[in-house]
Amino acid sequence: MIEYSTLLRRASLLGPGLRRGSERVWAGFKTRTGAIVTALAVALLAFVAIDYATLPPPLPGYAQVRVAWCPSEAWLYDRNGVLIDSARVNFAARRLAWTPLPQVSAVTRETIVGVEDRRFFHHGGVDWLALLGVARDRAQGTRARGASTLSMQVAGFLAPDLAVPGQRHLWDKLRQMRAAWALESHWSKDEILEAYLNLAGFRGEAQGIGAAALGLFGKTPDALARDDALLLAALLPDPQADPASIARRACAVSHERDCARFAGEAASMLGPARSLQLDPGLAPHLSDRLLTKPGLKVTTTLDRRIQSLAIVALKRQLQGLGGARARDGAAVVIDNASGDVLAYVGGIGGASTAPAVDGANSYRQAGSTLKPFLYAEAIEKGYLTPASILDDSPVQLDTASGLYVPQNYDRGFKGPVSARAALAGSLNVPAVRTLLLVGVDAFRDRLWDTGYRGLVEDGDYYGFSLALGSAEVTLLEQAAAYRSLEQAGRWSPLRLTLDAPRESPHAITTPQAAWLVADMMADSNARAVTFGLDSALHLPFWAAVKTGTSKALRDNWCIGFTREYTVAVWVGNLEGDSMRAVSGVSGAAPVWRDIMLALNAETRSTPPPRPTGIEARAITFANAIEQPRTEYFLAGTGQSQIAVAPAESRRPRITNPVSGSVYAIDPDIPPNRQRLSVDVSGAVTAHRLWLDKTDLGAADSQPQIIAGPGLHRLRLTDVAGRVVDQVLFTIR
């Protein structure tokens, strides 16, 4: 390469004129070169600036979009994988599960592509012909048509800042075009179309073809017809358009002359939402309990067939009762062998004023349904046998809060009865006397061990009323507890989902006590005195069952089991007001019966085998208290003749008044008409009664006393003058 100085030297040899010419040439060359360099630099800077200004954000891959997709719904399936319910968990948008392209009807795919981007399968992300058409329309001053391709729209869905409403400048369009090219370089056409159908907003909060098809037409995407597809395509440019506008667009897209039908179809499409039309809605309360996250799919232990029959049985009974008598009900069915919940009906709506409340998992007063566990504990400890005589007569018990006077449901008393008849007939006073044997604290602890987690207080809090079910329990707890009696006295938690762990059972009572109590509850003859021989509790196969009614008729229960199933039913009013004219056998029992009959329609339940340690005896009752029968006893406790304990075998005691009683004198009634009767029990021959320091005479004379205001002491003394019993009472 020749240097500039060398040229000058050579030019100087040619003369001054030639030298001046060469200098002018070189100056021009330098000027042109600088201008080119400057232009190139400016162009490069402009290119860099434009590239930076139109640089789209990075877009995720197809697989990333699928993984990140989160529906607004969650789904509940039965044990066989059949959908039984769903629940909306995310309320930001209505999105169902991602719909694969093959699950969208072909006519829908073709129609939407034809309307939105007819050259979709032939361009690389940008439709240049459509852009030229837009430029032509603008030059002619006509309304410009849109030129956004499906790829550009999908890019906008994936990067929302590419399609911010109101930003339609050239730079924004260039960014979207570049994003579409990038998308086309990594995604297939089918993947882009599938993403568009799932990400597009159709109407209101409905996002995606799945939500649109179900919410607007009550169909799945693969069932959409041509008219459905035309209406959806007409909806896309303006999802909030009125029915008339949508009908006009659908007509234009269809290229038909007679489009009158589209007006009615558009109005129907935009009518009441059909978002749950294909949802079976069989377990709404359980879905609220288990479906806690968007997109969750929970496989339960429920059986759709059994769930359906439980719903039908409960609905039929509540409709028969009428809302004025009882508005709510719940039912659960348990598979005894596995502990799986086969049916979970928390309520059925109807006349309910609290349909969202889960009746199967709400704490309600137990009523007489706790008695089987009381008798099981008494039998286990050897305090009672099924043939033991209990006194069903008035009793008054002194408690910290005053006198407790239990009464039977029918306000009557049956005198001496066997423990079998007392349990089967649900007699209250014998149950309270049994609790006196077992102890309130011991019984409360037994109930806790049996899964009744609502008993959070100690025994003193519940008192003697615990025998009559003053504690609060749930229907699910009831079902688990009664199942333990069928499972030889072993309790374990129930399962609601197939992936829930199975816990080892623990013994709450002995197999012998559990079997004896189950046999007592299955005895139709024993319950006949209270319920009759043809009540809803009588089935053509073996079943152990117990009813219960809480205070003021607020709750009605019926829980029972065969060898295969445990069925628990509750009927009442979830708001806590009393039912009207509903008893144990007229409220929950008919539902229990219908479910049991359906479950045993093909195979009739048989009695459970008798465990070892049980002996059978033919027994008779003295004074024909009850009919002769074959009775069962714990081995070594059997008897052949049962009699009421004679008076001489009982401890002499004062039964009335009860210690702690307070009596008020009415000034409007003559004093001699306000006498207090004194009652004693046991062998009281030669015993005497003393009121304070006054001798009332022989104890067996049943004296009636008049006492003035104040605290009084009534004593029972034996022949030697020793005090064998005494009570304190007050006159006001």
Number of H helices, E strands in the chain: 23, 30
Domain boundary among 53, 71, 90: 53
Read out DSSP for 222-274?
GG--HHHHHHHHHHTT-TT--HHHHHHHHHHHHT-S--HHHHHHHHHHTSS--
Q: Domain check: are 121 and 254 in the same one?
A: yes
Phi, psi of 345 (to 5 degrees): -110, 105
Contact 730, 710 (CB under 8 A): yes
| In the predicted structure, residue 142 carries a pLDDT above the cut 90 | no
Give the per-residue pLDDT at 276.
Answer: 43
Task: Give a yes or no: residue 322 inside a domain.
Answer: no
| Residue 195: pLDDT band with limits 50, 70, 90 | very high
Task: Give a yes or no: residue 308 inside a domain.
Answer: no
Q: Domain check: are 609 and 710 in the same one?
A: no
Name residue, tokens 């005691």: 653
Domain boundary among 642, 658, 679: 642
| Residue 597: pLDDT band with limits 50, 70, 90 | very high
Phi, psi of 473 (to 5 degrees): -140, 165
205 vs 199: CA distance, rounded Å: 12
537 vs 528: CA distance, rounded Å: 10
Q: Domain check: are 240 and 142 in the same one?
A: yes
281 vs 287: CA distance, rounded Å: 9
Question: Taking residues 286-300, what's their average pLDDT?
Answer: 94
| Residue 13: pLDDT band with limits 50, 70, 90 | low
Q: Domain check: are 377 and 505 in the same one?
A: yes
Q: Domain check: are 449 and 419 in the same one?
A: yes
267 vs 244: CA distance, rounded Å: 8
Buried b (16+ CB within 10 A) or exposed e, 103-116: ebbeebbebbbebb
What 3-state class would DSSP assign to 561?
strand
Name residue, tokens 């009919």: 627
723 vs 726: CA distance, rounded Å: 7
Q: Which residues pair with 341 in a beta bridge?
A: 334
What percent of the chain has a predicted confidence (pLDDT) above 70? 89
More confident residue, 204 or 510: 510
108: left (phi over 0), alpha (psi -120 to 50) or beta: alpha
Lowest mean pLDDT among 196-200, 237-241, 482-486: 237-241
Task: Tell me the pLDDT of the chain averaged across its residues.
Answer: 88
Task: Give a yes or no: residue 302 inside a domain.
Answer: no
Q: Domain check: are 609 and 705 in the same one?
A: no
Task: Give a yes or no: residue 304 inside a domain.
Answer: no
Q: Domain check: are 44 and 166 in the same one?
A: no
Task: Give a yes or no: residue 387 inside a domain.
Answer: yes
Name residue, tokens 């209505």: 94
Domain boundary among 642, 673, 694: 642
Phi, psi of 105 (to 5 degrees): -55, 145
| Residue 177: pLDDT band with limits 50, 70, 90 | confident
Q: What is the CA radius of gyration of the chain?
A: 43
| In the predicted structure, residue 715 carries a pLDDT above the cut 60 | yes
Domain holding 17, by residue range, is 4-53
pTM, rounded to two decimals: 0.79
pLDDT tens digits, one per residue of 518-575: 999 999 999 988 887 788 899 999 999 999 999 888 999 999 999 999 999 999 999 9
Task: Give a yes or no: residue 316 inside a domain.
Answer: no
CA-closest candidate to residue 388, choices 651, 628, 633, 611: 633
| Residue 171: pLDDT band with limits 50, 70, 90 | low
Question: Taking residues 502-518, what's their average pLDDT?
Answer: 97
CATH at 420 = 3.40.710.10
Contact 387, 619 (CB under 8 A): yes
Task: Give a yes or no: residue 81 inside a domain.
Answer: yes
Residue 634 one-letter amino acid: L
Give the per-residue pLDDT at 139.
Answer: 77
CATH at 110 = 1.10.3810.10
569 vs 567: CA distance, rounded Å: 7
Q: Domain check: are 618 and 711 in the same one?
A: no
Q: Domain check: are 655 and 583 in the same one?
A: no
Alpha helices (H) along 334-474: 371-380, 419-424, 428-438, 440-449, 459-462
What is the separation, in whole angstroms, between the first and last Cα of the chain?
137
Q: Domain check: are 543 and 564 in the same one?
A: yes
| In the predicted structure, residue 383 carries a pLDDT above the cut 70 | yes
pLDDT tens digits, one per residue of 269-286: 887 655 445 678 999 999
Q: Domain check: are 520 and 373 in the same one?
A: yes
283 vs 329: CA distance, rounded Å: 14
Q: Domain check: are 629 and 669 in the same one?
A: no
More confident residue, 624 or 487: 487
Task: Give a yes or no: residue 337 inside a domain.
Answer: no
Q: Which residues pair with 561 in a beta bridge?
A: 544, 566
376 vs 329: CA distance, rounded Å: 28
Q: How many domains does the chain have?
A: 4
| In the predicted structure, residue 9 carries a pLDDT above the cut 60 | no
pLDDT tens digits, one per residue of 205-249: 788 999 899 888 888 999 999 999 999 999 998 888 999 999 999
| Residue 46: pLDDT band with limits 50, 70, 90 | low
Give the per-residue pLDDT at 146.
Answer: 64
CATH at 659 = 2.60.40
